[in-house]
Chains A and B, each alone.
Chain A
Amino acid sequence: MAEKTMYEHLRDEGLSRRDFLKACGLLAAAMGLSSAPPVAASGLPAHLSRGPSPARMVARAMQARPRVPVIWLEFQDCAGCTEALTRSHSPTLVDLVLTKITIEYHETLAAAAGYQLEENKQKAMAQYHGQYVLVVEGSIPTGAYEAFCTVGGRTALEQLKEAAAGAAAVIATGNCAAFGGLPKASPDPTSAKGVWEIITDKPVVNISGCPAIPEVFTGTLANVLIFGAPPELDSLNRPKPFYAQTVHDRCLRRAFYEAGKYANSFDDEGARKGYCLYKLGCKGPTTYNACASLKWDGGLSFPIQSGHPCLGCSQPGFWDGGGFYQGQSAPLDRPEVVMAAAAGAVGLAAGAGVAVANRSQKKSAGTEE
Chain B
Amino acid sequence: MNWDAFLAFVRGPLFQVALLIFIAGMAYRLFRVVFLGWRRDRVPASGSKAGGVAKSYAKGILIWPFIPWVRNTFRRNPVIYLGGGLFHLGLFTVIFLGTAHMLVWKSLLGFGWPTLPLPIVDLMAVVGITAMLVLLVFRLTNPVMKLITGPAEWLNWLFVFLPMITGYVLTHHLFFRYEVTFSLHMLAIDVMLIWIPFSRISHFMFYFFSRTIHGIEFGKRAVSP
* A residues whose Cβ falls under 8 Å from a Cβ of B: 235-236, 246, 248-249, 257-262, 278-279, 285-286, 315-317, 320-322, 326-335, 339-340, 343-348, 350-352, 354-356, 358-359, 362, 369
Is the Cβ of B104 less than 8 Å from the Cβ of A329? yes
Query: Given the complex, which residues of A lie within 8 Å of B23, measured CB to CB?
Result: 340, 343-344, 347
Q: How far is the CA of A350 from the CA of B24 in the complex (A)?
A: 9
Residues of B within 8 A of A315 (CB): 4
* Contact (Cβ within 8 A) A344 B24: yes
A358 vs B37: C-alpha distance in the bound complex, in angstroms? 10
CA distance A344 to B103 in the complex (A): 24
Contacts A279-B99, A343-B27 known; A317 to B4 CB distance under 8 Å?
Answer: yes
User: Would you call B224 an interface residue if the criterion is a C-beta within 8 Å of the partner chain's C-beta atoms?
Assistant: no
User: Which of B12, B20, B30, B118 contacts A257, CB < 8 Å?
Assistant: B118
Can you list 14 contacts pairing A with B, beta carbon distance less than 8 Å? A248-B178, A260-B119, A260-B121, A286-B179, A286-B182, A317-B5, A330-B104, A331-B19, A332-B8, A332-B15, A346-B27, A347-B28, A347-B29, A351-B27
Give, as a whole number of angstroms, the nearest-CB distance from B63 to chain A: 29
Q: Is B11's CB within 8 Å of the partner chain A?
A: yes
In the A-B complex, the 10 residue pairs with the smallest Cβ-Cβ separation, listed nearest first, are A347-B27, A260-B117, A327-B103, A351-B31, A355-B35, A330-B107, A329-B100, A332-B12, A347-B24, A347-B28
Residues of A within 8 A of B117 (CB): 258-261
Decide if B200 is an interface residue (CB 8 Å cutoff): no
Q: What residues on A are CB-neighbors of B108 within 8 Å?
A: 330-331, 334
Tell me the bound Cα distance from A260 to B15 in angstroms.
26
| Least CB separation from B97: chain A residue | A260
Judging by beta carbons under 8 Å apart, are B107 and A334 in contact? yes
Bound: A246/B101 CA distance, A: 21
What is the CA–CA distance of A320 and B3 in the complex, to the nearest angstrom? 15
In whole Å, how far is B12's beta carbon from the nearest beta carbon of chain A? 4
Among candidates A259, A328, A351, residue contacting B32 with C-beta atoms closer than 8 Å: A351
Is A320 within 8 A of B2, CB to CB? no
**Contact residues of B between 35 and 92, Cβ < 8 Å to A:** 35-37, 39
**B11 adjacent to A355 (CB under 8 Å):** no
| Pick from B11, B37, B119: contact of A331, CB under 8 Å | B11
- With contacts A334-B108, A355-B31 taken as known, whether A343 is within 8 angstroms of B20 at the C-beta atoms is yes
B106 at the interface (CB under 8 A from A): yes
- Closest chain-B Cβ to A323's Cβ sits at a distance in Å of 9
A331 near B27 with CB under 8 A, answer no
Complex formed: what's the CA distance from A344 to B21 in Å? Answer: 9
The docked-state distance in angstroms from the alpha carbon of A334 to that of B109 is 9
- Contact: A347 with B35, CB < 8 Å? no
User: What separation, in Å, do the CA atoms of A343 and B25 have in the docked complex?
Assistant: 8
